[in-house]
């Protein structure tokens, strides 16, 4: 049997590509984990993802249990609130992503796709007229095109066929559980995004509101072992006074999960008969660690391109597939994602100034309605390729002007550089 497209990895990127491709192509989806043991960490689904995933019923409460309405960019003492009601519509949805992934591949199967769970792909061989995909049991499949959507847990596979691998960091999260009334009464925010260099110099600490669950976690520093991440998370859960009002009365009922997360896009996304998408391609926004947008956007692009190449009986060579690389740059990497690149440079690399920088930003959020509006628009805009980076630069200028004099002197070069990134 010759498949048109074989997708490796049933995360958000692979599952949404399988759903789309099953409309027009003979599709195979292979996943290393067992079907009842998929692991998806995402909890926030921004409105701007929707144009890339039109195949979903957004009123389905088992997938999208809550609206995402209220954010807290939390400082060391103040809460930097952005309430979407100020601008008339929510930021998007709270998502139970494992339900979305399930729905996507099940619908793909209804439309004729084949799924294989519990099979880890160990080798991909380009045989010229097709690609051979070999799993850990020694079985093999043939396909015209292979899409590598293996996230940050399968990087050795893409390396073995000549793709670069992205930078990789460790994150840790757990779920706190409780009755929804209890969660609603003590956690007024759907998303708390907190920068605290004592927790991480590499990324945020976050608390999210789900339905009867509250995901909570942080990105680790590069040198931290899994054991030290677990120990730190436990200390935060028990001793960090700043978050206790939001999490009291909730139960930690699971072992924490430690996951790699990759970021910073690789340079080349296609080779002859092969493409790479989602987190495997380093497509996660810097600073915010938003992987959902990148997963659904890259899946949508490759699906459209694959459909037109199949119609034209393409041999899926690198020349034909380069359109995918160009579109990814045009729509995602060279515009919207630059927002995160500048913020990452400013906030995660400012040494002893991080705390004062973040606390000043939190104050700016509370006083600058234009900034709150820009945050809201960034969440909602349906055409991220037209994202206007002027707002980010304006916010950078205002932030700089509010800094204490000594911090200003120390960071002037950094702000100047960020302005030209």
Ligand X SMILES: Cc1cc2nc3c(=O)[nH]c(=O)nc-3n(C[C@H](O)[C@H](O)[C@H](O)COP(=O)(O)OP(=O)(O)OC[C@H]3O[C@@H](n4cnc5c(N)ncnc54)[C@H](O)[C@@H]3O)c2cc1C
What are the residues binding ligand X (CB under 6 A)? 8-14, 30-33, 38, 40-44, 120-121, 149-151, 153-154, 157, 171, 173, 217, 259, 261, 278-280, 284, 289-293, 295
Closest approach of Cβ 420 to ligand X, in Å?
Answer: 28
Q: Please state, as a whole number, how many other Cβ atoms lie within 10 Å of the Cβ of residue 249.
A: 11
Q: Which is nearer to ligand X, 121 or 357 (CB)?
A: 121
For 10, half-sphere exposure in the C-beta direction (CA atoms, 13 angstrom radius) is 33
Q: Which is nearer to ligand X, 11 or 340 (CB)?
A: 11
Residue with tokens 């409780």: 178
Closest approach of Cβ 124 to ligand X, in Å?
Answer: 9
176 phi and psi angles, rounded to 5 deg: -90, 145
Q: Which is nearer to ligand X, 73 or 415 (CB)?
A: 73
Closest approach of Cβ 118 to ligand X, in Å?
Answer: 9
Q: Which is nearer to ligand X, 132 or 368 (CB)?
A: 132
Q: Which is nearer to ligand X, 213 or 353 (CB)?
A: 213
Residue 25 DSSP symbol: S
Pairing of strands 205-208, 191-194: antiparallel
- Taking a C-beta distance cutoff of 8 angstroms, is the pair 70, 190 a contact? yes
Closest approach of Cβ 39 to ligand X, in Å?
Answer: 6
Q: Cα 263–266–270 angle (5° rounding)? A: 135
CB nearest ligand X: which residue? 291
Between the alpha carbon of residue 164 and those of residues 31, 155, 226, 267, 289, the distances in Å are 21, 9, 25, 7, 20
Closest approach of Cβ 302 to ligand X, in Å?
Answer: 12
Q: Which is nearer to ligand X, 11 or 396 (CB)?
A: 11
CA nearest to 306, candidates 22, 107, 53, 55 = 22
Q: Which two tokens mark 382?
A: 């349906």
- Taking a C-beta distance cutoff of 8 angstroms, is the pair 199, 205 a contact? yes
Residue 413 CB contacts under 8 Å (≥ 6 apart), including other chains: none
Closest approach of Cβ 356 to ligand X, in Å?
Answer: 27
């Amino acid at each position: 049997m010759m498949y048109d497209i074989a997708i490796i990895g049933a995360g958000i990127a692979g599952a949404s590509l399988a759903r789309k491709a099953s409309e027009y192509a003979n599709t195979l989806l292979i996943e290393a984990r067992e079907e009842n043991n998929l692991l998806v960490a995402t909890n926030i689904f921004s409105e701007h993802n929707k144009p890339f995933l039109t195949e979903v019923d957004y009123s389905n409460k088992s997938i999208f249990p809550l609206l995402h309405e209220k954010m807290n960019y939390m400082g060391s003492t103040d809460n930097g609130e952005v309430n979407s009601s100020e601008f008339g519509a929510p930021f998007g949805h709270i998502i139970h992503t494992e339900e979305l992934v399930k729905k996507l591949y099940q619908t793909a199967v209804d439309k004729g796709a084949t799924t294989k769970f519990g099979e880890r792909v160990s080798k991909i061989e380009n045989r010229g007229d097709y690609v051979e995909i070999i799993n850990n049991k020694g079985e093999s499949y043939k396909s015209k095109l292979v899409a590598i959507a293996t996230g940050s847990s399968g990087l050795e596979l893409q390396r073995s066929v000549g793709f670069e691998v992205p930078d990789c960091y460790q994150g840790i999260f757990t779920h706190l559980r409780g009755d929804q009334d209890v969660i609603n009464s003590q956690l007024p925010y759907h998303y708390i995004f907190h920068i605290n260099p004592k927790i991480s110099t590499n990324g945020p600490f976050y608390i999210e509101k789900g339905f009867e669950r509250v995901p909570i976690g942080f990105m680790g520093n590069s040198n931290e072992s899994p054991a030290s991440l677990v120990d730190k998370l436990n200390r935060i859960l028990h001793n960090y006074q700043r978050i206790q009002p939001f999490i009291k009365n909730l139960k930690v009922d699971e072992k924490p999960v430690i996951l790699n997360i990759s970021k910073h896009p690789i340079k080349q996304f296609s080779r002859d008969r092969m493409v790479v998408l989602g987190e495997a391609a380093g497509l996660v926004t810097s600073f915010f660690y938003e992987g959902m947008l990148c997963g659904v956007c890259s899946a949508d692009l490759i699906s459209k391109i694959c459909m037109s190449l199949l119609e034209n009986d393409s041999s899926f060579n690198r020349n034909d597939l380069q359109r995918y690389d160009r579109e990814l740059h045009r729509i995602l990497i060279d515009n919207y994602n630059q927002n995160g690149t500048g913020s990452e440079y400013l906030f995660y690399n400012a040494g002893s100034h991080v705390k004062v920088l973040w606390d000043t930003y939190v104050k700016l959020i509370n006083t600058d309605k234009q900034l709150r509006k820009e945050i809201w628009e960034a969440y909602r805009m349906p055409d991220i390729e037209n994202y206007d980076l002027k707002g980010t630069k304006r916010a950078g200028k205002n932030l700089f002007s509010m800094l204490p004099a000594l911090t200003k002197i120390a960071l002037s070069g950094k702000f100047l550089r960020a302005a030209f990134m």
